[in-house]
Chain A
């Protein structure tokens, strides 16, 4: 899940080259059919939803971090179970925020974005917890790699080597909680004793690492919540005021690229085509299907201008959704999109769990047919969203392969 950096995050210092690129780039329509007041309400709602989501995810991550502390303090099966439940809850909420990626916003800002620290994949298991063929290695086992397990040192390690190692974030914590998933029928089976000092090699450092990873997760999510809050969020202010005239384009780009490139492509097609059980992103916990559903719910939240009640409980209507904006612009397109967004959710929910079983077998098996139907649904959703962007005067071709 290497973040795809978009055109909008270009360094603005490239002189004539960029200038020329812009001149030939997407053009704004001369006869603008858009309604500025309605757009303004939409942007305000979008920002409010973003803040509310990150506040919820940040809260859930703090609960997770507390559970990790408790587990490390006094390891037990119950505490391990509680930590896993807290991870699943926070992770599911996080899924709804992925529609905020792919346009150089706070999550994947080229300067201080935390996407690669939060969500990078695949996890290099032996880099984190040693190599079976070489005991005493990895971040946990080899103090030379990481003398002091602290957040800054880990952040640096995560960035080393051009393409990142994956040593922080959701999937690193997931790996430490579930362990290697070698069981075709279920998730990883790490025992709580891996954290009991004296019972497992390097247990103390493993526990320290888990603690620090939890704290880092909380820190990164707090940064995102802050960026989107009216109090501390310069980004939110700029976004809502539409300073660069591209806020709506950003919002649409996030939806298009998440639907086409990321969900249809990276998450579904790759798993379907390779039939590899672990080509799924939450591969240790086998909760990939929940991720997919949460992603689509996050897209629907933006469409409805309202947080998903199934995930957040009853929430007040936040305001103007994308649906309302499109309704004013092109009622037929609005209707087609609304139907498609719901149909896509239904298609994803129809994939029999667990996801890593559904991709196995022949193309005629119900699982693979369901996954393919979800691919087709996301592709159709991408086409309609791209059409919407075109209707707004944007040519979003930001989804390689999508």
Chain B
């Protein structure tokens, strides 16, 4: 677990108990790390060149070749793969739905895209917005079921898919900010003040590839202007979270718990430097479930994820989240009309869940032959150690298309320590600031087609695949260094491969 030493030094991975201190260790383990504003952008070759060599050791060339070849002919989404690469590519239902499911999907789609409006309203099924909110619809942030956008320097997120989670240190994970709650809502109903106006500043850092070519990385800083509900707590921690594309969720939901546990290696017993772990979550009845959804795997179920998004982002209460996301102070102070108890009716909520569950996965672009070189580098660099190419679903209650499928999400759904450069001080559940759930990679190449541009990583800082890779650190440092120090053609092959997913 946690930060491991540079692999050329032969250092063993830091033990688990040090998890709370990775940002302190980081400076010692890699002097370049904080010297450049936290960006993992080393410029000196030398020992790092050896790292590249050893990074390749993670998977021998033969083994990599075999795995890559075996997987490339497998459709990305198994039986729920569709052949569409248009701007709507993320918005199609899985094939083979019967009339009833297809119509339920349409209803879910309508409520996903349509604006919620202030209560009371003639369209009573769609009222209850706010009082505080980030967006008026799911589709505002997940444009065309795709990814959120990030603002340019000096801009504000403004309902396009980047939200700011707020917290202060607590005994077990973060507590909500006392006056503002667990999320900054920068919009409000008429007559009510939005919480604050967040501004984003991009801080640039530079680094070099092994061949001397320069790259530029950027990281966001957030300023909260015009706070309307009093001073922020001095211990305030901000965590930006970008809306991801939604394809294939029904399959991710159906990966058996056993398969997730089998991939865990919290103490890195196999010594490969990778030590993913399940983010266990407790349900209301006290049962343990693996977190699968969200940047920190904080949500075990789609229902939980969607209820949280409804109430935190749009201000719509549901049976699962019956109280508006207001701090006690706000709840006492604000006057607004409710759109019902709860505001999204159970049947509507179910259909939005069904809609999200049944979104199909667009096929990869390009033949297996064309993708082979990049897929091989994906293995050799070590990306595949966490971005597990092939997963298998168990029996899904939601249809044969989702059951017992082999598919290629490129994720293990586990938490991994990615180092100080990506950490933002927020402690979400058991996930440390530097720990992130491996996000699936399917569909990433289509994001520019669907959403106009690419914004990667939890806060959208990476503008292309290379930047995203270069931010990887911690457990992924060896893989990143292998990429950084690789010849330009190898890097290009990898990036082309990602663009075809």
List chain B residues, Cβ under 8 A from A278: 121-125
Nearest Cβ on chain B to A293's Cβ, whole angstroms: 21
Are the CB atoms of B190 and A163 closer together than 8 Å? no
A134 to B, closest residue via Cβ: B191
Within 8 Å of chain A (Cβ to Cβ): is B93? Answer: yes
Cβ-defined partner of A265 (8 Å) among B87, B110, B120: B110
A401 within 8 A of B: yes
Judging by beta carbons under 8 Å apart, are B106 and A266 in contact?
yes
Q: How far is the CB of B104 from chain A (nearest CB, A)?
A: 7
Instruction: Give the contacting residue for B118; candidates A6, A131, A279, A375; CB below 8 A.
Output: A131
A122-B126 in contact (CB<8A): yes
What is the distance, in angstroms, from B12's C-beta to the closest C-beta of chain A? 41
Within 8 A of A (CB), among B78-113: 82-88, 91-93, 102-107, 109-110, 113
Residue of chain A at shortest CB distance from B338: A133
How many residues of chain B are within 8 Å of chain A by beta carbon? 66
Q: Given A5-B144, A24-B83: A180 and B122 within 8 A (CB)? A: yes
**Quick one: which of A148-164 are within 8 Å of B by CB?**
161-164
Known: A122-B117, A127-B190. A283 touches B102 (CB 8 A): no
A9 & B107 in contact (Cβ 8 Å cutoff)? no
Is B158's CB under 8 angstroms from A162's CB? yes
Bitwise interface map of A from 1 to 42 toward B, beta carbon under 8 Å scored 1, else 0? 010111101110010111011011100000000000000000
Instruction: Give complex CA distance A4, B89 in Å.
Output: 12
B80 to chain A, nearest CB (A): 14
B20 an interface residue at 8 Å Cβ cutoff?
no
Determine whether the beta carbon of A182 is less than 8 Å from that of B93. Answer: no
Which of B134-142, B294-302, B472-480, B481-489 is near enough to bind chain A?
B134-142
Query: With contacts A20-B365, A132-B337, A276-B124 known, is A6 near B110, CB below 8 A?
Result: no
A122 touches B121 (CB 8 A): yes
Interface residues of B (CB under 8 A from A): 82-88, 91-93, 102-107, 109-110, 113-115, 117-118, 120-126, 129, 135-137, 139-141, 143-144, 158-161, 187, 189-192, 335-337, 345, 347-348, 351, 363, 365-366, 445-446, 448-449, 452, 496, 499-500
Report whether A397 and B92 are in contact in the complex, using a CB–CB cutoff of 8 Å: yes
Contact status A6-B87, CB under 8 Å: yes
Is the beta-carbon distance between B93 and A133 smaller than 8 angstroms? no
Asked whether A305 is an interface residue with its Cβ less than 8 Å from the other chain, the reply is no
Closest-by-CB residue of A relative to B91 is A400
**In the complex, A269 Cα to B101 Cα: how many Å?**
12
| Contacts of A255-284 to chain B: CB distance below 8 A | 261, 264-266, 269-270, 273-274, 276, 278-279, 283-284
Q: How far is the CA of A161 from the CA of B139 in the complex (A)?
A: 12
Interface string of A282-306 (1 = CB under 8 A from B): 0110000000000000000000000
How many Å lie between the Cα of A11 and that of B451 in the bound state?
10
Q: Are B158 and A161 in contact (CB under 8 A)?
A: yes
Chain B residue numbers with a CB within 8 Å of A397 are 82, 84, 92
Q: Complex formed: what's the CA distance from A142 to B117 in Å?
A: 18
Q: How far is the CA of A283 from the CA of B127 in the complex (A)?
A: 14
For residue A163, which residue of chain B has the nearest CB? Answer: B140
Instruction: With a 10 A CB-CB cut-off, give which of B91, B92, B106 has the most chain A CB atoms.
Output: B106
Q: How far is the CA of A114 from the CA of B139 in the complex (A)?
A: 19
Known contacts A124-B121, A134-B190, A137-B191: A24-B115 contact under CB 8 Å = no
| Shortest Cβ-Cβ A-B pairs, 10 listed | A7-B86, A163-B140, A134-B191, A21-B85, A162-B159, A137-B190, A265-B106, A276-B125, A401-B106, A20-B365
A172: CB under 8 A from chain B? no
CA distance in complex: A186, B500 (Å): 54
B86 contacts A398, C-beta separation under 8 Å: yes
Among B107, B335, B449, the residue within 8 A (CB) of A273 is B107
Contacts A142-B190, A398-B88, A400-B92 hold; do A162 and B140 have CB atoms under 8 A apart? yes
Give the contacting residue for A7; candidates B82, B87, B123; CB below 8 A. Answer: B87
26 contacts between A and B (CB under 8 A): A4-B88, A6-B88, A14-B448, A17-B365, A18-B449, A21-B365, A122-B123, A123-B117, A125-B118, A126-B121, A127-B117, A131-B189, A132-B337, A161-B136, A261-B106, A265-B110, A270-B106, A273-B104, A273-B107, A274-B107, A274-B348, A278-B124, A278-B125, A401-B102, A401-B105, A402-B106
Question: Does A181 sit within 8 A of B, measured CB to CB?
Answer: yes
* Nearest CB on B from A194, distance (A): 16
What residues on B are CB-neighbors of A14 within 8 Å? 448-449
Chain A residues 335 to 351 lying within 8 A of chain B, measured CB to CB, are none
Residue A166 lies at the interface, judged by CB distance under 8 Å to chain B: yes
Query: Are B190 and A181 in contact, CB atoms less than 8 angstroms apart?
Result: no
**Considering only CB atoms, which chain B residue lies closest to A266 in the complex?**
B110
The residue in chain B whose Cβ has the minimal distance to the Cβ of A142 is B190
